[in-house]
């Protein structure tokens, strides 16, 4: 196998290749397909011009969300002791005001004025017990975690007369009642499917063991929690669930209170339109709500709500960065777009031998796209699937979800929004997400230390 790489890199790759054993091994290898620019050429040819409004079609308001968490153990003694801190920030950008911040010639945004917009941000924080912490003297970390999830999701997250109570949002997304099949207590697990959880009755004592079962146990976030293990992944699931529940809460309130307001706003989520792990079963509920919102808007003679999931990292974005120079070469100063259908994903991104019949069937409620802008930047964004449910066969849904006509004006409006907010200042991000991110970030040093100290103070 020919190997012509000349430059040594930091990982000592070239040094390895000079090794006689490696050389002997390479002689026994051939390529499946010889790497070439024509391979990229085939992929590039499948991109098409990105739609653009004339003039650009922009919302009046943008709400961008970003979440961060901190769950590193506090102190260095054993057993390891852990709290989870989750912070979700929303930035509201009033487009008319934002426009005033931009120099129309240089597209330069005054950073001091942008910083002022942070004052609009309303971070919502959650604190959860991790390993070795008994919340309210619960017998296990897991039982305490269940109670903490309930206490924090059942708390009103707004001041004044308004409410955001995420346990109620969870119920509203599920037609106001939720069954829970089995008692979540590890020592019980008996069948309790006859109990119905509602806004009026969000908790029940288990008829078998007497422990309290909470409506929020439906999310099954506690299932990843152990007494002394690292509970970081449960915190990630919680963060993911909270972000999407908050989006659900915003949409529900506007749908019920003032649906016309939904025509003026765009929501920008940080990350894919998907819920992973135990709370993944929430994804069809959010998909259904989006569909209800759009049906309502259609009845009012309006276009669908613009919700964008923007991914700054991940394998689709990695692939996008790889493609960036080929796309820019083939389409200089032209915006191009590709829907990431399952074939494309499997052939060029994931490369599975046994591809799923419908990618993301258990978790995604939005479709991925890759967008190279006129200025040469790459964005991976998602739009909600334009369906009420994933009915029909999986293969059938996989085909329908990539029919671009079904997305109506959303593709054009998403591209316009990304173009408007892309800036040199924030690589691979657009301004609203960057602002929300700056607000949500929990820096581990030295800011994270403060959180550790607060937690320790609270333990005394
Ligand atoms: Zn029980």
Say how many Å lie between the CA of residue 146 and the centre of ligand 1.
13
Task: Name the pLDDT band for 56 (thresholds 50, 70, 90).
Answer: very high
Mean pLDDT, range 97-112, rounded to an integer: 67
pLDDT band of residue 425 (cuts 50, 70, 90) is: very low
Q: How confident is the model at residue 446 (pLDDT cuts 50, 70, 90)?
A: very low
pLDDT tier for residue 111 given thresholds of 50, 70 and 90: low
Centroid of ligand 1 to alpha carbon of 207 (angstroms): 7
What number is the average pLDDT over the span 202-222? 96
Distance 335 CA to ligand 1 centre (A): 57
The number of residues in the chain equals 460
C-alpha of residue 141 to centroid of ligand 1, in Å: 16
Ligand 1: centre distance to CA 210 (Å): 6
161 vs 284, which has greater pLDDT?
284
Poorest-confidence range of 82-86, 175-179, 414-418, 441-445? Answer: 441-445
- How far apart are the CA of 275 and the centre of ligand 1, in A? 27
**What pLDDT does 131 receive?**
87
Q: Which residue has the higher pLDDT, 300 or 262?
A: 300
What average pLDDT does the segment 205-221 reach? 96
- Tell me which DSSP letter residue 347 carries: I
CA distances in angstroms from 377 to 9, 66, 67, 320, listed in the order given: 26, 21, 24, 10
Cα(221) to centroid(ligand 1), Å: 17
Question: What pTM does this model have?
Answer: 0.87
For residues 299-326, give the mean pLDDT: 93
User: What SS3 state is found at 351?
Assistant: coil
The CA 174 to ligand 1 mean position distance, Å, reads: 23
User: Which one has a higher pLDDT value, 261 or 329?
Assistant: 329
User: What are the CA-CA distances from residue 367 to residues 203, 298, 328, 342 (Å)?
Assistant: 36, 21, 23, 10
Containing 40, the helix (H) or strand (E) segment is helix 37-45
**% of the chain with per-residue pLDDT over 90:** 53
pLDDT at position 287: 97
How many CB atoms sit inside 10 A of residue 96's CB?
9
pLDDT at 435: 65
Mark the residues whose beta carbon lies below 5 A from ion ligand 1.
183, 185, 188, 206, 208-209
DSSP state of 261: G
Q: What is the mean pLDDT of the chain?
A: 85
Which percentage of the chain shows pLDDT scores above 70?
A: 83
Distance, in Å, from the CA atom of 445 to the CA atom of 98, rounded to the nearest integer, reads: 32
Identify the weakest region by mean pLDDT among 108-112, 132-136, 216-220: 108-112
Q: Three-state DSSP class for 380? A: strand
Q: Nearest-CA neighbor of 425 among 414, 416, 439, 438? A: 438
Lowest mean pLDDT among 119-123, 144-148, 231-235, 350-354: 119-123
Partnered with residue 267 across adjacent β-strands are: 63, 307
pLDDT of residue 353: 74
Q: What tokens does 209 get? A: 């063991």
Please say whether the beta carbons of 400 and 342 come within 8 A: no
């Amino acid at each position: 196998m020919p190997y012509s790489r000349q430059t040594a890199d930091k990982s000592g790759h070239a040094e390895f290749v000079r090794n006689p054993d490696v050389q002997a091994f390479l002689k026994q290898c051939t390529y499946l397909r010889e790497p070439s620019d024509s391979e990229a050429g085939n992929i590039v040819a499948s991109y098409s011009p990105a739609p653009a409004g004339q003039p650009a079609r922009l919302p009046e308001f943008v709400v961008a969300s970003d979440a961060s968490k901190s769950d590193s153990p506090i102190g260095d003694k054993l057993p390891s002791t852990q709290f989870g801190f989750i912070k979700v920030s929303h930035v509201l950008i009033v487009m008319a005001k934002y426009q005033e911040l931009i120099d129309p010639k240089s597209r330069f945004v005054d950073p001091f004025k942008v910083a002022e917009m942070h004052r609009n941000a309303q971070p919502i924080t959650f604190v959860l017990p991790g390993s070795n912490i008994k919340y309210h003297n619960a017998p296990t970390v897991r039982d305490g975690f269940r109670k903490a999830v309930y206490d924090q999701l059942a708390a009103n997250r707004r001041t004044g007369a308004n409410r955001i109570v995420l346990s109620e949002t969870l119920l509203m997304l599920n037609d106001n009642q939720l069954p829970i099949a089995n008692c979540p207590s590890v020592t019980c697990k008996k069948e309790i499917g006859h109990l119905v959880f509602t806004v009026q009755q969000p908790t029940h004592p288990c008829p078998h063991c007497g422990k309290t079962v909470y409506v929020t146990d439906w999310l099954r976030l506690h299932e990843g929690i152990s007494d002394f293990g690292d509970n970081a992944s449960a915190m990630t699931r919680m963060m993911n669930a909270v972000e999407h529940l908050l989006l659900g809460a915003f949409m529900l309130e506007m749908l019920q209170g003032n649906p016309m307001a939904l025509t003026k706003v765009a929501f920008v989520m940080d990350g894919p339109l998907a819920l992973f792990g135990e709370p993944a079963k929430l994804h069809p509920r959010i998909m259904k709500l989006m569909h209800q919102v759009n049906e309502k808007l259609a009845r009012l003679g309006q276009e669908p709500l613009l919700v964008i999931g923007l991914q700054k990292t991940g394998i689709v974005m990695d692939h996008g960065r790889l493609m960036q120079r080929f796309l820019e070469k083939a389409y200089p100063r032209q915006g191009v777009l590709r829907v990431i259908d399952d074939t494309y994903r499997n052939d060029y991104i994931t490369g599975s031998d046994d591809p799923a019949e419908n990618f993301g069937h258990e978790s995604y409620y939005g479709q991925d796209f890759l967008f190279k802008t006129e200025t040469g930047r790459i964005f991976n964004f998602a739009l909600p699937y334009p369906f009420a449910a994933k009915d029909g066969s999986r293969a059938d849904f996989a085909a329908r979800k990539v029919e671009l006509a079904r997305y109506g004006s959303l593709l054009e409006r998403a591209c316009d929004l990304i173009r408007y907010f892309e800036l040199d200042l924030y690589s691979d991000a657009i301004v609203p997400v960057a602002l929300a991110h700056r607000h949500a970030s929990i820096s581990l040093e030295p800011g994270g230390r403060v959180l550790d100290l607060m937690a320790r103070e609270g333990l005394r």
